[in-house]
Chains A and B, each alone.
Chain A
Amino acid sequence: MAEIQLKSLAHSYEKSPTGAHDYALREMNHVWDQGGAYALLGPSGCGKSTLLNIISGLLTPSEGEVLFDGVVVNHLPPQQRNIAQVFQFPVIYDSMTVFDNLAFPLRNMKIAEAKVMSKVHEIAEILELHPVLNKKAKNLSADEKQKVSMGRGLVRDDVSAILFDEPLTVIDPQLKWKLRRKLKQIHEQFNLTMIYVTHDQLEASTFAEKIAVMYGGQIVQFGTPRELFENPNHTFVGYFIGSPGMNLLEVQTTANGVSFDGIEIELSDARKAMLAKVPSKNIKVGIRPEFVHVWDKPSENGYECEVQHVEDLGTYKILTMKLGQQIIKARLDEDHAVPQQKAYISFPEQWLKIYVDEYLIGEELV
Chain B
Amino acid sequence: MSLKLENVDQVVNGQNHLTNVNLTLEPGSFNVLLGRTGAGKTSLMRLMAGLDKPTNGKIIMNGANVTGITVQKRNVSMVYQQFINYSNLTVRENIASPLRLAKASEAEINKRVMETADMLRITEFLHRYPLELSGGQQQRTAMARALVKDASLILFDEPLVNLDYKLREELRFELRELFKARNAIAVYATTEPNEALALGGTTTLLHEGRVIQSGPSAAVYREPVDVYAADLFSEPPINLIPGNVTDNEVTFDESVHFPLHQDLKSLTPGGYKFGIRPSHIGLVPDNDDDLELSMKVELAEISGSETFLHVKNDHFNLVMQLSGVHAYRSDATINIYLPVHKLFVFTLDGKMIQSPTRLIRG
Contacts and interface: CB of A to CB of B under 8 A. Distances in A.
Given A314-B221, A334-B359, A338-B362, A202 B301 contact: yes
B164 A44 contact: yes
Interface of A: 43-45, 173, 177, 180-181, 184-185, 188, 199-202, 205-206, 224-226, 228-230, 239-245, 288, 290, 311-316, 331, 333-335, 337-338
Interface stretch (B41-49, B104-112, B204-212, B302-310): B302-310
Contacts of B301: 177, 180, 202, 205-206
Contact of B304 (A43, A181, A228): A228
Nearest to A188: B330
A288 B304 CA distance: 12
A176 to B, nearest CB: 9
Contacts of A335: 359, 361
B321 interface: yes
Nearest to A206: B301
A225 B323 CA distance: 13
B300 A206 contact: yes
B305 A243 contact: yes
B81 interface: no
Contacts of B298: 181
B303 A201 contact: yes
B304 A201 contact: yes
B117 to A, nearest CB: 22
A295 to B, nearest CB: 15
Contacts of A245: 166
Contacts of B325: 205, 225-226, 229-230
Nearest to A201: B304
Interface string B206-225: 00000000000110011000
Interface of B: 134-135, 164-166, 169, 191, 193-194, 197-198, 200, 217-218, 221-222, 234, 277-279, 298-305, 308, 310, 321, 323-325, 327, 330, 359, 361-362
A43 B222 CA distance: 34
A185 B298 CA distance: 10
A97 to B, nearest CB: 29
Nearest to B358: A335
Contacts of B200: 311-312
A177 B197 CA distance: 23
Given A177-B301, A177-B308, A335-B361, 16 more contacts: A43-B164, A184-B330, A188-B330, A199-B164, A200-B165, A202-B301, A202-B303, A205-B301, A224-B327, A229-B324, A229-B325, A230-B325, A313-B194, A313-B197, A315-B277, A315-B279
23 contacts: A177-B301, A177-B308, A180-B299, A184-B330, A201-B165, A201-B303, A201-B304, A205-B302, A205-B304, A205-B325, A206-B299, A206-B301, A225-B302, A243-B304, A313-B194, A313-B197, A314-B221, A315-B321, A316-B323, A333-B323, A335-B361, A337-B361, A338-B362
A44 B277 CA distance: 34
Contacts of B310: 177, 181
B305 A314 contact: no
A181 B299 contact: yes
B362 to A, nearest CB: 6
Contacts of A316: 279, 323
Contacts of A173: 191
Contacts of A242: 304-305
B302 A313 contact: no
Given A181-B330, A206-B302, A241-B305, A312 B166 contact: no
Nearest to A174: B237
Contacts of A180: 299, 301
Contacts of B300: 206
Closest 9 pairs between A and B when the two form their complex, measured CB to CB: A205-B302, A315-B279, A201-B304, A242-B305, A226-B325, A181-B299, A241-B304, A206-B301, A202-B303
Contact of B305 (A177, A290, A312, A337): A290
B214 to A, nearest CB: 17
A338 B321 CA distance: 21
Contacts of A228: 304
A279 to B, nearest CB: 32
A316 B323 CA distance: 10
A131 B115 CA distance: 60
A229 B299 contact: no
Contacts of B194: 313-314
A34 to B, nearest CB: 20
Contacts of A224: 327
B66 to A, nearest CB: 34
B169 A243 contact: yes
B327 A226 contact: yes
Given A185-B330, A314-B197, A290 B304 contact: no
Nearest to B303: A202
B303 A243 contact: yes
Contacts of B193: 314
A173 B308 CA distance: 14
B50 to A, nearest CB: 32
A239 to B, nearest CB: 8
Contact of A177 (B191, B234, B279, B299): B299
Contact of B279 (A199, A240, A334): A334
Contacts of B221: 314
Nearest to B326: A226
B299 A184 contact: yes
A44 B164 CA distance: 9
Contacts of B327: 224-226
Nearest to B362: A338
B238 to A, nearest CB: 11
Nearest to B198: A311
Nearest to A229: B325
A312 B197 contact: yes
A337 B277 CA distance: 20
A177 B217 CA distance: 27
